[in-house]
């Protein structure tokens, strides 16, 4: 990602908030294979576990002031998940963990399973449910870093994965919006948007015979439902108010829970999906909103978008 200084976002709590507000991320992998395309991507809804550091925290999880990482309950997640997230705060280097699931029938899934199986057969995995981390001195002896929060066995995917989160609000910016510089002719059309890119190491839970796979998927499905039902829709949560879709009845509705579905159905469902857990190693954001322009041009962009009348343009103007 091109991080122009005016657009770059490096504050970890801000990046975490963006991900939680826009949890549908595009998972991209590069996995050399004779059977599947090397480059594949899939749209996945993610649950973010992590402890947000205080304002101004660096991307290594350490604060810039006297306070270290501060634990707080994460909205929509179970008490057990919040306890596990809080327990990770002591290292001061935690950038968070993303959890998701993917359809077993997806060709992308088949490539993931092939890659982790071959890596395990080659001895590239240092142990169950661990992430290979290179020593800072550059030696090639990997050391295990717990990633599964007590979930048990999974297989580590070789290399890094990339997950891109984007805001649904973006807009074309015409040079005619610029009030201060259009007369000079030194203008060009552009696009304003907001996006966050996450890099990390993935553990794949794919073996239906492993109890850990079932436990991971049960927790993942339950937490994803809580994030959507309570955090996004606002069901059963008076502090959220109307849902993201403008549902004024959100406060009066009870959130749907995994327990509402028949046990046999959930058991069958879990056989058709594969769990993924990504320990974040790097995260960066770009919020491009004409910040690099002069005051007159920025006011021109805001006025131009507001004058268009569409809801998307108005949201872009307000962002």
The answer to whether residue 47 is domain-embedded is: yes
Pair of tokens at residue 232:
């996004």
Q: Which residues of the chain have pLDDT under 70?
A: 51-93, 121-152, 180-184, 237-251
Pair of tokens at residue 100:
């998701």
Helix axes 311-318, 295-308, angle to 10 degrees: 150
Pair of tokens at residue 5:
């200084």
What are the backbone dihedrals phi and psi of residue 301, each rounded to the nearest 5 degrees, phi first? -65, -45
Q: Is 84 strand, coil or helix?
A: helix
The answer to whether residue 206 is domain-embedded is: yes
Helix axes 211-226, 263-271, angle to 10 degrees: 110
The answer to whether residue 76 is domain-embedded is: yes
The answer to whether residue 217 is domain-embedded is: yes
The answer to whether residue 261 is domain-embedded is: yes
Q: Give the span between the Cα atoms of 41 and 49, in whole angstroms.
A: 22
The answer to whether residue 152 is domain-embedded is: yes
Q: What is the pTM of this model?
A: 0.77
The answer to whether residue 64 is domain-embedded is: yes
Overall domain count for the chain: 1
Strand 171-173 to strand 273-288: parallel, antiparallel, or no bridges (unpaired)? unpaired
The answer to whether residue 2 is domain-embedded is: no
Q: What is the CATH number of the domain that holds 175?
A: 2.30.110.10
Nearest-CA neighbor of 151 among 87, 209, 210, 224? 210
Pair of tokens at residue 120:
């395990």
Sign of CA dihedral 91, 52, 72, 96: negative
pLDDT given at position 308:
92
Nearest-CA neighbor of 164 among 3, 16, 24? 24
pLDDT given at position 122:
64
CA 92 from chain centre, in angstroms, equals: 20
Identify the DSSP state of 213: H
Identify the DSSP state of 251: G
Q: Give the span between the Cα atoms of 147 and 212, in whole angstroms.
A: 13
Which domain range does residue 194 map to? 8-318
Sign of CA dihedral 171, 174, 176, 178: positive
């Amino acid at each position: 990602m091109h991080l122009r200084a005016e657009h770059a976002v490096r504050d970890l709590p801000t990046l975490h908030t963006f991900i939680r507000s826009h949890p549908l991320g595009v998972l991209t992998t590069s996995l050399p294979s004779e059977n599947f395309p090397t480059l594949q991507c899939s749209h996945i809804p993610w649950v973010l576990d992590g402890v947000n550091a205080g304002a101004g925290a660096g991307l290594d999880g350490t604060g810039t002031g006297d306070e270290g990482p501060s634990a707080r309950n994460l909205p929509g997640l179970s008490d057990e998940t919040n306890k596990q997230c809080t327990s990770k705060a002591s290292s001061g280097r935690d950038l968070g963990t993303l959890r998701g699931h993917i359809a077993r029938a997806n060709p992308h899934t088949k490539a993931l399973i092939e890659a982790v199986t071959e890596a395990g057969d080659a001895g590239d995995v240092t142990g169950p449910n661990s992430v290979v981390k290179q020593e800072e001195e550059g030696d090639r002896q990997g050391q295990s870093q717990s990633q599964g929060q007590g979930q048990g066995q999974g297989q580590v995917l070789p290399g890094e994965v990339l997950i891109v989160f984007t805001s649904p609000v973006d807009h074309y910016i015409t040079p005619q919006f610029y009030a201060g510089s259009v007369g000079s002719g030194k203008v060009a059309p552009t696009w304003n948007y907001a996006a966050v890119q996450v890099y990390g190491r993935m553990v794949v839970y794919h073996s239906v015979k492993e109890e850990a796979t079932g436990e991971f998927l049960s927790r993942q499905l339950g937490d994803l439902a809580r994030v959507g039902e309570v955090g996004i829709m606002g069901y059963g949560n008076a502090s959220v108010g109307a849902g993201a879709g403008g549902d004024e009845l959100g406060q009066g509705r009870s959130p749907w829970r995994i327990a509402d579905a028949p046990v046999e159905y959930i058991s069958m469902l879990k056989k058709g999906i594969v769990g993924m857990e990504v320990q974040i190693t790097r995260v960066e954001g770009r919020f491009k909103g004409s910040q690099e322009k002069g005051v007159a041009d920025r006011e021109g962009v805001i006025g131009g978008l507001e004058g268009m009348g569409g809801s998307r343009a108005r949201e872009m103007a307000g962002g």
